[in-house]
Amino acid sequence: FLASSLTPVDALSRRFFYMLHQSQPDELTTTGTLYADVLHAIATDDEVEATAAASRLVDHMEDTTRSAFKVQY
């Protein structure tokens, strides 16, 4: 039930980040590097670093999302 409920949100999320990366291509490099850090920590079985790297990735994505919606006056 949960997975099927989140499918529309996943699709919208992918569309949002696709459009964001079209307008801010450098953002993709930063996000990719942070994601690679998570994968490397998992591959080396470093649970502490995997947790920290995942937190950095999520924090970065949250900051990026918030800045995309920030109204400039």
pLDDT along the chain (73 residues), means of 10: 79 84 84 95 97 96 86 55
**What's the N-to-C CA distance of the chain in angstroms?**
42
Whole-number pLDDT of residue 72 = 57
pTM of the predicted model as reported, rounded to 2 decimal places: 0.74
pLDDT of residue 22: 82
Q: What is the pLDDT at residue 43?
A: 97
